[in-house]
Amino acid sequence: MDIPHHDIPDTPEQRARDRRRVLRAFNLALASVLLLAVVFFSQENFDARAFSVQPHLPEGLWGILSAPFLHGSLKHLATNAVAILMLGTLAGSVFPRATLRSLPLIWLGAGLGAWLLGQPGQYHLGASGITHGLGFLVFALGLIRRDRAAIAAGMLAFLFFGGMLLSILPQEPGVSWQSHLGGAIGGALGALLFRHADPIPPRKRYSWELEEEAETEAERLQQQGLELERPEYVPVIWHREPGEMPTDERKVIPFRRPGH
Looking at the DSSP bridge assignments, the partners of residue 180 are none
Q: Helix 148-161 to helix 74-94 angle, to the nearest 10 degrees?
A: 170
pLDDT at site 157: 92
Which three-class secondary structure state does DSSP give residue 259?
A: coil
pLDDT at site 171: 83
Cβ atoms within 10 A of the Cβ of 107, count?
21
Cβ atoms within 10 A of the Cβ of 37, count?
15
Cβ atoms within 10 A of the Cβ of 176, count?
25
Q: 29: closest CA among 102, 96, 98, 75? A: 96
pLDDT at site 249: 56
pLDDT at site 98: 96
Low-confidence ranges of the chain (pLDDT < 70): 1-11, 201-214, 218, 221-222, 224-260
pLDDT at site 260: 59
Environment class of 211 (CB within 10 Å of its CB; exposed 0-12, middle 13-18, buried 19+): exposed
HSE of 117 in the Cβ direction (CA atoms, 13 Å)? 18
| φ/ψ (deg, to 5) at 244 | -95, 10
Q: How far is residue 240 CA from its own chain's centroid?
A: 63
pTM for this predicted structure: 0.74
- Structure confidence by residue, pLDDT tens digits, 72-102: 899 999 999 999 999 999 999 999 999 999 9
pLDDT at site 1: 45
pLDDT at site 254: 67
Which three-class secondary structure state does DSSP give residue 5?
A: strand
